[in-house]
Structure 1
Amino acid sequence: MHLPEFALAHSRTSLGSSTNKMEVAKVEKQNTHSYPVTASRLYPWLVILDCKQGQRQTFFDVSKNHYQTKNIPEMCNKLIYGCSHGWLVLVDPNSMDCYLWNPISLEKAQLPSLESVNYSGCILSSSPSDPECHILFFNRLENSLLVCQKGDFEFNKQVVIFAEDVDLKNFAMVGKTIYCLASRYTLYTAEVVGRTVQFTRLIVEELPWPSPLDLPRFEAFYVESCGELFLVHMMFFGFRMEEVYGFFVFRMDFEEKRWVKVKSIGDRTIFLSQHNKTGCMYSLATELGIKTNSIYFTMNSQRLLYVFDLESLCTPSSRNIVIPYREVDFIWRGERGVVHLPEFALAHSRTSLGSSTNKMEVAKVEKQNTHSYPVTASRLYPWLVILDCKQGQRQTFFDVSKNHYQTKNIPEMCNKLIYACSHGWLVLVDPDPDSMDCYLWNPISLEKAQLPSLESTDYQGCILSSSPSDPECHILFFNRLDNSLLVCQKGDLEFNKQVGIFAEDVHLWNFAMVGKTIYCLTLEYTLYTAEFVGRTVQFTRIIMEKLPRPSPLDLPKFDAFIVESCGELFLVHMMFFGFRMEEVYGFFVFRMDFEEKRWVKVKSIGDRTIFLSQHNGTGCMYSLATDLGIKTNSIYFTMNGQRLLYVFDLESLCISKSLPCSTVSRDLEQYWVMI
C-alpha cells in the first residue's frame, strides 16, 4: 500500500532573529477612538477582539501587513455575530444585548436580546435599510432559529425546522436566496414567511465522505462569490484532532443539483473564521499582495493567521499577530485596512489532497518473514522503529530513505519499550509495573544480557558508558522528575541508586556520549561531565554561564535534546505553541564550543541530519549522502501519541509531515534505532 506524503508545513519564521523575539507590526499613528480606514473595500479586515481587554479592537490589513488598534465605543465588550451589507451584528456576551451597527453611517438599530449563547450564527436576508429585512440567528446544537425584524421587541423561535433527520450546519446568501447547509452536506433553500422560515430541499443526494477515513473530525463553511456557492471542507488530524490537515473546496452545480469538487478557485481568495464558522470569498488583483487561489483562516484561541495554498496544497506562511493575550476572537469583516505584522511561518507542506481516492499513500511493504530480523546491511542512518502498544507482539521498521516498512514479530522485542540504542545494542524494558524486566539485546549477534529490574517507570532515560562487550561498561538510567540515577554493570543483581547528584540547584535533563566522555545537560542548559567511580557517578560542571532563553517570551514550553556527531556535541532546542502548547513552533540548534565553554547557535548543520524521538527524549545525528533521499540540514522527529513523521528544514524553517505506516494504532511509541 502507498504511504501518504501529506504535508502540512510550517513556513518561515523569525527564528533566525538575533534577538529571538517576534517582530511586532508597526502601528500607524491614528486616533484610537476613530473608526478604521474604509476607503478600499476589495477585501475584508481581520478584526481581533481581545477578550481580556474588551475596550480594544485590532483591525489587521492582510494586504498591507499593518494593523490599527482602536477603542470604538459601539464595539467595546461586544462579539461580532455577523457582517452583511456593510452592517455588523453585535452581541454583548454577558447581557446578550444585541443590535445592528453600521460603521460607515454610524447608524444603530436595537434588536431583541438573545436567549442563549448557543445562538452563535447569524444571517441577514437583505440590507437592514430594506424594511423587509429579516435577521435570523441559528443554534446548531438544537436545530433552532430566532427570527426578527428591525423594531421587534422579541424573537420568534422556530424549533423543528427540518422534516428530515438532519442537522443544521450553516447559512449563506446567493443573490436574494438564502441557502442552508445541513448534515451530510445536503442543501436547502430558506424562505422567510412572516416570522417563520420554510425550508425546501435542493440536493437529494448526499455528498460522499470527502476526508480520508481516519480523519473523523471536520468543519464546513459556506461562501458565496460572483453568484456561485462554495462549500469548504476543513479537515483535522493529530492526537486531539486539533491540527488542520487540509481543505477540499466544492462548487454547487445548480443545474445538476450536486456538489462538484474544484482544484482551483483562480484569482479568488477565501477568508474563514473558525470562531463563528463564517467565511467570505473575493476576486483579488495579484498586486494587492494577498495570495489568490488560497484560503486565509484563523483558529480558536490562537493568535496566528494561516494561509492554505490550493495549488501546492500547503500552508506556506502564517502571520503571528503579536498581542499580549491569547483570549481573542478573529472575525473577517467586510470593510478594509493597517501595523506591520511578523512573517512568522508555520507551514504545511505538500499533501495528497489532489488524489482522486482521497486516501493517504501508504509505504510499500517489503515481502519478508515477519519473524526474521530487519535488514541491517546499511548502517548509514537509523531505522524508525514503531511499537504498537495495542498489538505488543508487532514491531514496524520504517526506512526513511526507501520509504518502505517491514512489520515484524521479534520475540525479544514483544511487549517491550526501547530505552536506549548504543553500540549496536538495545536496552529493552517491560513496561508492566509488576515486571519492569530489563535487559540488553544485540539484534545482530542475538546476544542477551539480563539487568536488574527497574524500580519505577519514571526512569525513562538511559545511556551506556561503552559497548556492553567491554567489562567496564556501566548502564545508567536517569529520572528527570527527582534528579536520581540507577547504575549497574552486566551481571549485577541490583542497581545502585544515587539521589543527590548535583551540588547546584539544577535539574537533570539529558545525557550524550562524545568519544569516551559522558556529558549531562541540565534543564538550565548548563553542561556537566559524568565520570563513573565504582557504582556512583561524579559530575563536573564545564559551563558556568546559563544559556539565555532561546524561545520567544510567549512560548514557555520547550524540549531539549543533545546529540553527538563527528566528535562534536549539539544542543537541539524544540519549541511549542498553540492552545495547549502541543504544536511544534520550530527548533534552534547550538554547538558546544569546548574551548570557550559555551553554546554557539548554528544556522546550518550542512550535510548532516538529526533524528529525534519525543517519547524518550533521545536523538542522533549523521552525515548523509544526498542520493539517499534523506533531507540533510534537517531534523526528523516524532511526537508522543502521533503516527506522523515530521521533517524540519533548517534552511527554509518549514515542517513537512508524512505517515510511515497506516496500519499501526494511535497508541504507539516511536524510536530511532541504529542497527
Structure 2
Amino acid sequence: MTVQATMTKRRKESPSTSRVDELPAHILRSIFNRLRFNDLVQAKSVCCSWNLLGDELTSKMPWLMLPSKKQVEEDDGIKVNNNGYHGFLNLKENRLYSLKTAPKEFSECCCIGSSHGWLVFLQEKAVPFLFNPFKQLRIELPSVDRQLGLEKMDIICHRNHLYALSDKNSIEVWDLHIGGNHVKKKSDFVFAFPDKSLAKEKSFRDVCTSGFYLVESCGDLLFVVRFIGDYVDWDGTLLHEQDHLTQDSNHPKVCPYRTFLFHVYKMDFKELKWVEMDTLGDRALFLGRNQLASVSTRCFLNCEKDCIYFSDDCWERIDEDYLYGGHDMGIYNLKDGSLKPVFEFSSDKIQPQPCWVIPDPAMFES
C-alpha cells in the first residue's frame, strides 16, 4: 500500500478502529528509513506518532540550502542579487527539492550562517533572528554590531574551556572555572600553529589563502586548515599566475578561487601539541558558514566517511567580482586527497551562497 493510500484509509477510519498509530516503533522506524523524502513528509500527516518520527528523520538529514539553479544559470551572475534560497539538496537521495513558495525571510534578509538546524539571518539595521526552514519558526534576537555577522573567528567550548583562533596563527584558551562569573585567558596555554601547515602556507604565499576551523569530534579538539588557491584547475591542481595567463583553449577551465587541500590535526592534551590526522575514520566534517560539525557516518548514512563537506565562506572575496563568488564548495577525501563536487552550477557566481543546514550531531551519535 502506498503512503498516499494509507493516508486516505486513515482519514476514513474512526480513531477507535485505526491501528496505524499502534505500529511498533522499531518497525515504523525501519519503514520510514526506506522512504523517499516526499513520501516521508506525506507520512507525517497520518498521526501524531508518525509526525514525531518524521520530524526526527527529516531533521536528521544534512541539507545544502541553495538559490534557484535556473535563475543563477540564466543570469550567469550578472543580475543575481539576493534572489533568495529556493531549494534544498538532500544528500541521502542526491536530489534537489525546490520550494514552491519560499519563505519571505529567504529573499528579504541576509543569511549569515546556520546552527543546529536553525538559520541565522540579519534584517535591516543588523537586527538578527533565527529561522527554522522546516518548521517555519522564527525567534527574534537583540541587535548586534553590523560587522559582527560578516567576520569569521572560530570559537568553541571544549572541556570547560573556550578555544579561540587568534590573529597570530595560534589558539588561545580561556578558562571558564576561574574568576567566578568571568572567564580568564590562560596566557601560558597557547597552541602554536602546526609546522607542516605553516610551511605549506609559506610555499603557497603568493598563490593561495588559508581558512582555519575548530571542531569537536568524539571528545577530541580538531584544528582544520583549508587551503584556497587563487587559480585552480577543476581537477584541484594549483596554478601559478603565469600558468593561468598562458592557458590555451585546450586547458581545463579555471575557477577564480577554489579549495584544493585540507590539513586536519588533533590536540594531544598530554604533550600540548597538534598531531596530524591522515584519516577521519567513520566521521565526516561539515565546514562553511554553518556550525562546524563532525558527524558519525553510521548515523548519517547518506554521508561519506573520511570526507570534508565544505561550502564557500570566503567573505572577503565573495563580492569582489560579479563573475564569481559562492562557488567554492565540494567534498574532499582526507585519506586520498581527492575532490569532487557536491552540486554543480554552470555559473561561478552563486548568490546567495550555499549554506549547510545540519541538526545537532550529538543527538544522533551511536
Higher relative contact order (CA 8 A, sep 6+): 2
Label 1:571 to 1:627 Cα distance change in 2 as closer, same or farther (>3 A).
closer
Aligned residue pairs, count: 257
Structure 2 match to 1:574? 226
Could you tell me which amino acid in structure 2 is paired with residue 436 of structure 1?
A: A
Could you tell me which amino acid in structure 1 is paired with residue 190 of structure 2?
A: I
Could you tell me which amino acid in structure 1 is paired with residue 275 of structure 2?
A: V
Supply the distance in 2 between the matched residues of 1:534 and 1:442 (Cα, whole angstroms). Answer: 35
Kindly state the Cα deviation for residue 445 of structure 1 after the two structures are TM-superposed. 6.1
Structure 2 match to 1:417? 110
Structure 1 match to 2:331? 647
Could you tell me which amino acid in structure 2 is paired with residue 406 of structure 1?
A: Y
Is 1:606 the counterpart of 2:252? The answer is: no
Q: 2:81 aligns with which of 377, 390, 404?
A: 390
Kindly state the Cα deviation for residue 590 of structure 1 after the two structures are TM-superposed. 0.4
TM-score by length of 2: 0.58
Deviation per residue, 1:73-121 (Å, 9 max, x gap) = xxxxxxxxxxxxxxxxxxxxxxxxxxxxxxxxxxxxxxxxxxxxxxxxx
Kindly state the Cα deviation for residue 444 of structure 1 after the two structures are TM-superposed. 6.2
Supply the distance in 2 between the matched residues of 1:416 and 1:611 (Cα, whole angstroms). Answer: 24
Q: Any residues of structure 2 matched to 1:216-615 within 5 Å, and which?
A: 377-387=57-67, 390=81, 392-408=83-99, 409-430=102-123, 435-443=125-133, 447-456=137-146, 458-460=147-149, 479=151, 509-514=153-158, 517-523=161-167, 524-529=169-174, 531=176, 538-541=184-187, 542-548=189-195, 549-551=198-200, 553-556=202-205, 557-577=209-229, 578-579=239-240, 582-613=257-288
Kindly state the Cα deviation for residue 406 of structure 1 after the two structures are TM-superposed. 1.9
Kindly state the Cα deviation for residue 621 of structure 1 after the two structures are TM-superposed. 1.3
Kindly state the Cα deviation for residue 521 of structure 1 after the two structures are TM-superposed. 1.8
Secondary structure at the counterpart of residue 292 of structure 2: strand
Secondary structure at the counterpart of residue 332 of structure 2: strand
Structure 1 match to 2:301? 628
Supply the distance in 1 between the matched residues of 2:163 and 2:310 (Cα, whole angstroms). Answer: 22
Gaps of 5+ in 1: 1-363, 462-478, 481-508
Q: Is the 8 A contact 2:164 2:173 kept in 1?
A: yes
Secondary structure at the counterpart of residue 668 of structure 1: coil
Q: Is the 8 A contact 2:63 2:356 kept in 1?
A: yes
Structure 2 match to 1:336? none
Could you tell me which amino acid in structure 2 is paired with residue 667 of structure 1?
A: Q
Higher share of residues assigned helix: 2
Could you tell me which amino acid in structure 2 is paired with residue 648 of structure 1?
A: Y
**Structure ID, larger Rg:** 1
Higher share of residues assigned strand: 1
Label 1:515 to 1:535 Cα distance change in 2 as closer, same or farther (>3 A).
closer
Label 1:544 to 1:513 Cα distance change in 2 as closer, same or farther (>3 A).
closer
Kindly state the Cα deviation for residue 438 of structure 1 after the two structures are TM-superposed. 0.7
Secondary structure at the counterpart of residue 200 of structure 2: coil
Supply the distance in 2 between the matched residues of 1:674 and 1:588 (Cα, whole angstroms). Answer: 23
Secondary structure at the counterpart of residue 551 of structure 1: helix
Gaps of 5+ in 2: 1-35, 43-53, 69-79, 230-238, 242-255, 313-317, 319-324, 360-366
Deviation per residue, 1:11-65 (Å, 9 max, x gap) = xxxxxxxxxxxxxxxxxxxxxxxxxxxxxxxxxxxxxxxxxxxxxxxxxxxxxxx
Q: Is the 8 A contact 2:67 2:352 kept in 1?
A: yes
CA RMSD of aligned residues (A): 3.8
Kindly state the Cα deviation for residue 522 of structure 1 after the two structures are TM-superposed. 2.0
TM-score by length of 1: 0.33
Q: Is the 8 A contact 2:116 2:291 kept in 1?
A: no
% identical equivalent positions: 20
